[in-house]
Every structure is written in C-alpha cells, then in structure tokens.
C-alpha cells in the first residue's frame, strides 16, 4: 500500500478544511437503484467511507486497512490544522501514515471509526494513532505515523559560554523542517533577548528554554533600592542584598542602619519590593 502524505498549511483567518476519514468505496448499486435510494444515499456513503457497504457487510466481512489509515490521517490533519493555526510559528505539516500488518484481519465495523492519541504521543516526528471501532464487535488498532512540520526556531550564531547574555548579535531565527527538535525549543527571538545561558552552546545549536535563565539584576553585597508601603503609601530606602537574584526572584536584603534583614521580590528595574521594612 502506498504511503499517504498530506500537507497542512496554517491559516489563522481561514476556515479549517473539512477533512474526511477516507475515500468512498464505489457502490455496487445500479443507477436506477441509486435514484430510488436517493433519500438515504448520504447514510450509505458514510458507511462506505468506513468500509461498510452493501457488498461487504456480512458475517465474515473484513475492515479494509485503507479505511483505518484514512481515519488516522484525518484525525492527525484536524489536530495539526488547529495546532498550526494557534502556534503562529509552524507554517505547515506533512503527515505520512505507515503500513499496517498485512496479516491484520478485523471484523468490519458497523459504526464510524474513531481515533485518539495514546498517552505521551506527540504531534511531531514518529507517533502513533489509536483507531477504534465502538460497534457490536469492538476492536482497537494502533497506526504508525510520522509528522514533519516546517517552522521557526532560534539557534546560536556562534559558540557561547555559560553566563553569556543573549542579544540579537549572537542568535538568529531559522525557518526549516522541524526534524528531531529538542523539547522546549525557542520559536521566536523576542522571548530570549536579555536571557543568560546556563551552559555552553556551540555554533548553530538549537536553543531551548532549559538552557536559559534570567539575567542577574542584583548581586550579593550590592546596594539596592528597597520599596515598601501599605495603603497606597510607599517608602523608599536602601539595603544590602544578601544573595544574587534575577527579576522575579525573592531575595533577602539587610537594612544597613538597623541591621534588620527582610525579604522581597526583585522588580524588572532592579529594585526590591519588600514585604515589610
């Protein structure tokens, strides 16, 4: 059986395509019979799309593998169309459905097939889709698939050492197929500017969220502005930081006059918003 490949484009403002689980198998009715049964033709077509037709329904009928593959493909296409539209950084995705075991013999399903992703499955790379029959003789089969998406990701322009500050000069955005991308890869430049590296990276290496930390705004022993207040009244003073801290971190600050130590949160401007003072 040929591998089935479908390309899905992202479009935030257009309606998603109507995705059908498979091609309708040709009916064996004569044109005269079709005219008589015109009122129920949609029902016959729906059943045929899932491998159930007047010619195949029977005690020993076997579910055509193509209908199982079509259901898996349709399910992935729908998920990817929504994902790509919402993400903003993935422009398109290709779905390749793998072959089923040629020895597979499943009773033809008398209800429409359903599909789902097993726990832990990803919408990228190699994955698996569970296709289930919920009819009178239920069964479940897992269909192998591969998803290759095209989108943006951030890489280091040059080798960078631990503690290096990320700027527009040392990173760049690429747009290619997202093959074997590490978890937490960064899809946009704006989200990494001003961050610092927690580890060494090599030229062209993909940056991930785990590699990055906030730049230190406060260092141990540094004199910092301390802001405290209640009921709309704010008081500003100066304290000595007891440890290094980045924006949003909690830090202890010692009052140089009273020698009292209080805790607070580092603000984006480097000041400390104290709990009390």
Residue 85 in domain: yes
Query: What number is the average pLDDT over the span 33-44?
Result: 33
- Co-location of 8 and 126 in the same domain: yes
- What is the rounded CA–CA span in Å between residue 30 and residue 275? 83
Last residue of a domain, one of 115, 130, 148: 148
User: What percentage of residues in the chain have a pLDDT greater than 70?
Assistant: 77
Place of tokens 């980045």: 246
HSE-up (13 A, CA, CB side) for residue 213: 13
Residue 194 in domain: no
Last residue of a domain, one of 116, 131, 148: 148
Query: What number is the average pLDDT over the span 253-263?
Result: 91
- Co-location of 134 and 50 in the same domain: yes
- Co-location of 40 and 117 in the same domain: yes
Residue 176 in domain: no
pLDDT in tens, 64-77: 999 999 999 999 99
Residue 180 in domain: no
Whether the per-residue pLDDT at 39 is higher than 70: the answer is: no
Give the pLDDT confidence score for residue 11 in this predicted structure.
43
Could you say which DSSP state residue 116 is in?
A: E
Give the pLDDT confidence score for residue 183 in this predicted structure.
87
Whether the per-residue pLDDT at 58 is higher than 60: the answer is: no
- What is the rounded CA–CA span in Å between residue 81 and residue 9? 7
Residue 163 in domain: no
Q: How confident is the model at residue 261 (pLDDT cuts 50, 70, 90)?
A: very high
- Co-location of 13 and 141 in the same domain: yes
Please tell me whether the overall predicted TM-score, pTM, comes out greater than 0.75 for this model.
no
- Co-location of 25 and 128 in the same domain: yes
Q: What is the mean pLDDT of the chain?
A: 81
- What is the rounded CA–CA span in Å between residue 247 and residue 241? 14
- Co-location of 35 and 144 in the same domain: yes
Query: What number is the average pLDDT over the span 35-63?
Result: 45
Q: How many domains does the chain have?
A: 2
Residue 155 in domain: no
Residue 154 in domain: no
- Residue ranges of the alpha helices (H) in the chain? 31-36, 41-49, 65-87
CATH number at residue 223: 2.30.30.760
- Co-location of 116 and 228 in the same domain: no
Contact 192, 212 (CB under 8 A): yes
Residue 112 in domain: yes
- What is the rounded CA–CA span in Å between residue 204 and residue 156? 5
Residue 228's nearest CA partner among 274, 178, 166 is 274
- Co-location of 30 and 118 in the same domain: yes
Last residue of a domain, one of 94, 124, 148: 148
Residue range(s) defining the domain that contains residue 228: 216-274
Give the pLDDT confidence score for residue 60 in this predicted structure.
63
- Co-location of 26 and 106 in the same domain: yes
pLDDT in tens, 145-197: 999 999 999 999 999 999 899 999 999 999 999 988 898 999 999 889 889 99
């Amino acid at each position: 059986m040929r591998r089935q490949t479908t390309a899905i484009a992202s479009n935030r403002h257009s309606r998603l395509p109507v995705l059908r689980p498979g091609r309708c198998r040709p009916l064996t009715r004569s044109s005269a019979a079709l005219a008589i049964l015109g009122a129920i033709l949609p029902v016959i077509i729906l059943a045929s799309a899932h491998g159930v037709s007047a010619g195949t329904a029977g005690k020993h009928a076997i579910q055509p593998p193509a209908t199982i593959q079509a259901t898996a493909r349709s399910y992935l296409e729908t998920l990817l169309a929504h994902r790509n539209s919402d993400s903003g950084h993935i422009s398109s995705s290709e779905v390749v459905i793998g072959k089923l075991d040629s020895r597979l013999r499943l009773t033809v399903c008398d209800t429409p097939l359903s599909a789902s992703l097993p726990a832990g499955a990803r919408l990228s790379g190699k994955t698996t889709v569970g296709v289930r029959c919920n009819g009178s003789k239920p069964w479940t089969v897992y269909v192998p698939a591969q998803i290759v998406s095209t989108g943006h990701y951030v890489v280091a322009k040059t080798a960078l050492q631990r503690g290096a500050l990320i700027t527009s000069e040392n990173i760049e955005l690429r747009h290619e197929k997202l093959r074997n991308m590490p978890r937490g890869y960064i899809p946009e430049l704006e989200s990494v500017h001003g961050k610092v590296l927690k580890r060494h990276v090599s030229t062209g290496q993909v940056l991930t969220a785990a590699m990055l930390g906030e730049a230190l705004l406060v260092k141990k022993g540094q004199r910092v502005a301390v802001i405290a207040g209640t009921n709309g009244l704010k008081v500003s003073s100066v304290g000595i930081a007891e440890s290094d801290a980045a924006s949003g971190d909690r830090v202890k600050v010692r009052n140089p006059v009273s020698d009292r130590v209080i805790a607070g949160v580092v603000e984006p401007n480097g000041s400390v918003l104290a709990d009390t003072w």
